[in-house]
Amino acid sequence: MSNETKRDVFDDALAYAPVGREYDPVNDDEAGDLRSCLSARYSAALPDDLPVIPKAQSDWIKQCKANDDSLSFALGDETTPIEVAKTFRVWSGYTDKNKDKWLKLQNTFASAWLLGVWRVEETEETGEIVKLEAEK
Convert the pLDDT of each residue in 20-44 to its tens digit: 545 555 555 555 577 778 888 888 8
pLDDT at 32: 59
The residue that leads in pLDDT, 95 or 107, is 107
Backbone phi and psi for residue 103, each to the nearest 5 degrees, phi listed first: -65, -40
What number is the average pLDDT over the span 3-9?
85
Average pLDDT for 50-73: 92
Report the SS3 class of residue 40: helix
More confident position, 135 or 60:
60
pTM for the structure as a whole = 0.70
Give tens-digit pLDDT for 108-129: 999 999 999 998 887 656 667 7
What pLDDT does 23 receive? 53
H/E element, 113: helix 96-115
Distance CA 33, CA 37 (A): 6
Strand partners, 118: 130
pLDDT at 136: 43
Rounded Cα gap, residues 3 and 74, in angstroms? 26
- d(Cα 47, Cα 31) in Å, to the nearest integer? 25
Contact 109, 121 (CB under 8 A): no
DSSP string, 71-88: HHHHHH-TTS-HHHHHHH
Strand partners, 5: 46
